Amino acid sequence: MGFLLEIREKIIKFYDAHDSRIVPAFRFLVTLITLILLNGSIGYLGALKNPYFILLLSLVCAFLPGKFMLLVDTGFIFVHLFALSTELGLAMGIIIVVLYLLFLRFTPKAAYIILLAGVCAFLKIPYVIPIVIALNFGAVNVIPTCIGIFSFYMLNTISVYETTLTRQTATDNVHMFSYIYESILMNRAMLVVLIMTLVTMGVVYYVRTRAVAHAWNYAIIAGVTTQFLTLLISDVLLEGQLDLAGTVVGTALGALIGYLSGIFRFNLDYKRTEHLRFEDSEYYYYVTAIPKRVIARQEVKVTKFTNRKTKKDSLETREESEK
């Protein structure tokens, strides 16, 4: 634990000293990765696949607010789908506008969660998301998490059935939308992951916010157990063809990341817990104060050595020489 706390202090100092560089670099990498993944999945318009254009756009996003990254990614999705089908692109544009008006404009930080959930789903490790997000953020963030996972499965469905969609004529638009609608709703793997995400995040957030010692660790254990049981039950009922290896690896990775994040945000020293009581004219207050673990900083004593002689020393030396 002491070793991890030392690393924590070094990371915090490094971030405080270089945050003006770290934040833009992070935004640049996130934008670059998401745009590359989108072009590889639904890259129907060749003009947007130019690597120099992607690098330039990622560089611009590095110096803009986080929600602008999500705006660029959704713009890419809209343009690519519009190139595939005009009606499909317009429908996606309406969905994006509705999501922004109802949710995203009130919680701009949710953009990072949507992108993170989508990237993890693309990398076949969506099981990492519920524990990590529920431990570090509020309960309302279950909405952007599900939006990110749903967006991945929707784009994956469109990509898989690209040939079928491009063969549709203008008179078959109703059939096209009904086909996509049924394909997405009948995706049992997506339903399994969404159910697991909702249940796991609810359990982890509930346990994490309890006023008990070691609540963070209990939340991780409860999250891992709930995630496994939910996935197994949902897979049996919905026949989602559960990937057992991916489930084990993703859940273990989520628990590990959750534990490490706890060291940075919820690292408490329960041995030094204090119970306080005070009152005012209307209430009695019972407060439990738990200090965070910190590393004792050693005081460094600096000794200066100099060869310069003072004026007084010079006079004494001269008097001794005269004698």
Q: What is the pLDDT along the chain (323 residues), one digit of tens a residue?
A: 666 677 777 887 888 888 888 888 988 998 898 888 888 877 778 788 888 889 999 999 888 877 788 788 888 888 887 877 777 777 777 777 777 776 666 676 777 888 888 888 888 888 888 888 888 888 888 888 888 888 888 887 777 666 555 555 444 556 666 666 666 667 777 888 888 889 999 999 999 888 888 888 888 899 889 988 888 887 777 665 667 777 788 788 888 888 888 777 777 777 788 888 888 888 888 888 888 776 655 544 555 555 554 555 555 555 555 55
In the block, residue with structure tokens 């990498």: 29
**Interatomic CA distance for residues 121 and 176, integer angstroms:** 25
**Exposed/middle/buried for 61, CB within 10 Å: 0-12, 13-18, 19+?**
buried
CB 208, CB 215: distance < 8 Å: yes
What's residue 170's pLDDT?
Answer: 44
Sequence ranges of the domains in the chain: 276-322
Measured at the CA of 106, the angle between CA 101 and CA 109, to 5 degrees, comes to 115
Reduced to 3 states (helix: H, G, I; strand: E, B; else coil), residue 62 is: coil
Please tell me the predicted confidence (pLDDT) of residue 55: 92
Spatial neighbors of 20 by CB under 8 A, at least 6 apart, are: none
**What is the structure's pLDDT at 203?**
92
DSSP state of 211: S
Helix (H, G, I), strand (E, B) or coil at 287: strand
The single-letter code of the amino acid at 172 is: D
Q: Which residues of 262-289 are buried (b: 16+ CB within 10 A; e: fewer)?
A: beeebbbeeeeeeeeeeeeeeeeeeeee
Report the predicted TM-score, pTM, of the whole model to 2 decimal places.
0.74
